[in-house]
Amino acid sequence: MDTDSVRWRLLAEGEDANMLTRAQVYSAQERAAAMLHGAEIIITPGERAGIEVADFGLGELEQTGLELIVYVNTDRYCAKELVLFPRQTCPEHRHPPRGSDPGKEETFRCRWGEVWLYVEGEPVLAPRARIPQGHEAYYTASSEIRLLPGEQHTIPPNTLHWFQAGDEGAVVSEFSSTSDDASDIFTDPRIIR
């Protein structure tokens, strides 16, 4: 998962009907900060003020979205803290190869709450996540992995994946190779990046 406050249109206001307002962004930041606090994860005031709120351009943040802090992103590795509200979904995407780089490899480690993670592979018969209504065509990866606090899973490069928090939400640490959101490919063509 990669974000960019400009390309994912986080803070500018009123550009079109789908755009998050400043008030919506601020409210989501407040809520994410409270969840981090509840998970005993300490952040600086600067990190608190800069929490990224990504609605992927769909204008339905509660359903499809993600809140996050990028701790570090060098040309070699990256670490982020992700916050998902209850049942909030990070939509399906993959990190393709770029030149000599095989694509971003990433590890999700659940710190608090519950995460339903889906990757390519053997499909589960009765998935526990609820695909956002009307978006079914854009969720194809259906091999299910449940992550509880302390549990983690590594996604190989160029592998379709998506995830949704359980009923209480989730806090997830992401460890990865360098992060370049410009290269992410989403299954849903409506996603603005």
* Number of residues binding to a second copy, judged by CB under 8 A: 28
Long-range contacts from 13-22, C-beta under 8 angstroms, 24+ separation: 17/59, 18/55, 18/57, 18/58, 18/59, 19/59, 20/53, 20/55, 20/59, 20/61
Within residues 110-149, the interface with a second copy by CB under 8 A covers: 111-112, 149
> Is residue 154 part of the contact set for a second copy (CB under 8 A)?
yes
**In whole angstroms, what is the distance from residue 69 CA to residue 12 CA?**
18
Question: Which region, judged by CB under 8 A, interacts with a second copy, from 8-16, 67-75, 87-95, 125-133?
Answer: 67-75
- Residues 171 and 83: beta-carbon distance below 8 Å: yes
Our finding on whether 177 is near a second copy (CB under 8 A) is yes
Kindly state whether residue 173 participates in binding a second copy, applying the rule CB under 8 A.
yes
- The three-state secondary structure class of 84 is strand
From 14, 16, 74, 182, residue interacting with a second copy (rule: CB under 8 A): 74
> Which parts of 19-58 interact with a second copy (CB under 8 A)?
39-44, 47
Does the footprint of a second copy cover residue 152 (CB under 8 A)? Answer: yes
Q: Does 181 bind a second copy (CB under 8 A)?
A: no
Contact 109, 173 (CB under 8 A): yes
CB of 175 vs a second copy, minimal distance in Å: 4
CB of 12 to a second copy, least distance (A): 28
Residue (of 69, 79, 5, 71) closest to 32 by Cα position? 69
What the block records as the tokens of 102 is 């095989």
What 8-state DSSP symbol labels residue 68? E
Contacts to a second copy by CB under 8 A:
39-44, 47, 71-72, 74, 76-79, 105, 107, 109, 111-112, 149-152, 154, 173, 175-177
